[in-house]
């Protein structure tokens, strides 16, 4: 579900809706320590359980994404989301600044789209990003910086029809991270990568939240 535009724009930067620099996502799109240095399927998480990819069942699905139903602020759920003790503690600490947290699975990542037939040599003009509880957000891309391989890049723009909004996104292979700020809709979202094709999406308080990239300890 995307539109293609010939050409790639290089030299990308982003500011938030108050004009201050936003710390975005290129670092967040890096592999978690436990997943990059070991087999994530056998890593140990808090409580002695083995780390599990896609740990929860799909409760809602669209063409682009699948949503789980578990409360991502629950201690027991965080234990299953976290790769390791450090990430677990970060997520617990972050709870006071997070309104909601939900695990979402992507049926096709941006890197997948760029590798699909017909996408070679072009950049994505529009994407559909997941929000919470089945919500889908139409992301109009204004600027992009893409690696020639199509496996890594950074995108910025706005929600369609919302000129006061800001969307920033970075991806590396199957890992994605993004921020959505739309004051008129009262949408303030931060999405961190968990595993390739998995996102931890958070509704945040913009007055108090400082991204800790909890998906990437």
Residue owning tokens 């004051």: 183
Q: 156 pairs with which residues across the strands? A: 143, 168
User: Residue 199 falls within a domain, yes or no?
Assistant: yes
Please check whether residue 169 is in contact with residue 62, taking contact to mean a CB–CB distance below 8 angstroms.
no
Residue 153 lies in a domain: yes
Dist CA 181 CA 24 (whole Å): 12
Count of structural domains, the chain: 1
Distances, alpha carbon 14 to alpha carbons 25, 46, 76, 168, in Å: 11, 36, 36, 7
Look at residue 152 and tell me if it is in a domain: yes
Q: What is the pLDDT of residue 39?
A: 46
Residue 209 lies in a domain: no
Cβ partners under 8 Å of residue 89, min gap 6: none
Which structure tokens are listed for 93?
A: 């600490």
CB atoms within 10 A of CB 10: 8
The verdict on residue 51 lying in a domain is yes
Q: Tell me the pTM.
A: 0.78
Provide the residue range defining the domain that includes 189. Answer: 3-204
pLDDT tens, residue by residue, 159-202: 999 999 999 999 998 999 999 999 999 999 999 999 999 999 99
């Amino acid at each position: 579900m995307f539109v293609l535009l010939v050409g790639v724009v290089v030299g990308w930067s982003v500011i938030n809706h108050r004009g201050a620099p936003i710390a975005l996502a290129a670092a967040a799109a890096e592999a978690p320590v436990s997943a990059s240095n070991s087999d994530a399927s056998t890593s140990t998480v808090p409580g002695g359980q083995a780390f599990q990819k896609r740990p929860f069942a799909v409760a809602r699905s669209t063409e682009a994404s699948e949503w789980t139903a578990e409360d991502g602020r629950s201690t027991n759920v965080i234990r299953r989301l976290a790769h390791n003790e450090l990430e677990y503690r970060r997520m617990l600490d972050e709870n006071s600044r997070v309104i909601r947290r939900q695990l979402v699975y992507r049926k096709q990542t941006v890197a997948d789209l760029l590798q699909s037939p017909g996408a070679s040599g072009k950049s994505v003009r529009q994407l559909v990003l997941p929000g919470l509880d089945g919500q889908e957000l139409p992301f109009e891309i204004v600027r992009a910086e893409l690696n020639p391989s199509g496996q890594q890049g950074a995108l910025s723009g706005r929600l369609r029809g919302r000129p006061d909004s800001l969307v920033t996104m970075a991806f590396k292979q199957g890992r994605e991270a993004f921020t959505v700020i739309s004051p008129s809709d009262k949408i303030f979202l931060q999405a961190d990568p968990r595993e390739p094709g998995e996102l931890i999406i958070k509704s945040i308080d913009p007055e108090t939240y400082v991204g800790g990239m909890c998906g990437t300890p």
